[in-house]
Amino acid sequence: MPDEVKPEEQVLTVTPAALEVIRKIKAERGFQNHALRVFVQGGGCSGLQYGMGFDDNPRESDTVVDYGDVQVIIDRISLAYMVGAQIDYVESLMGGGFAIHNPNAVSSCGCGQSFSTGSSAGGGSGCSGCG
């Protein structure tokens, strides 16, 4: 059984704006039994990049943050890079999208999808590798 934590424990938080969009996407796609999986993987112009997708099969080693009708799951390795991070949804003139505010990132790419920590590999600069 995955480790379950309350949002107030600050493992990873999701803003009300992001929760609203997640609920809307789940309803549109018929994903009532799916959780939002958040992960970190190597790549991007700064060494690491964020990923998100819906998953209906959490692993035993996952951490689950429960917001009632929305669950966010994260694997142990990704959690090490994202403890204390906040997932938000922001609207701008260029459109809307999810944004991750990560206190562990010492640098990030201009697009916001790539970051590095003091211990992560990569360390590129600029944003030529972001899509």
DSSP notation for 52-70: EEEES---TT-EEEE-SS-
H-only helix segments in the chain: 16-29, 76-82
- How confident is the model at residue 66, as a pLDDT? 92
Per the structure, the complete domain to which residue 33 belongs is given by 3-116
CA distance 8 to 31: 25
In a domain, 121, yes or no: no
In a domain, 126, yes or no: no
CATH number of the CATH domain containing 45? 2.60.300.12
CA distance 1 to 33: 16
In a domain, 127, yes or no: no
pTM of the model: 0.74
In a domain, 80, yes or no: yes
Domain count, the chain: 1
What does the pLDDT profile of the chain (131 residues) look like in tens digits?
566 655 555 688 999 999 999 999 999 999 999 999 999 988 766 578 889 999 999 999 999 999 999 999 999 999 988 899 999 999 887 788 998 888 877 655 544 444 445 554 444 444 444 44
In a domain, 103, yes or no: yes
3-state secondary structure of 82: helix
In a domain, 124, yes or no: no
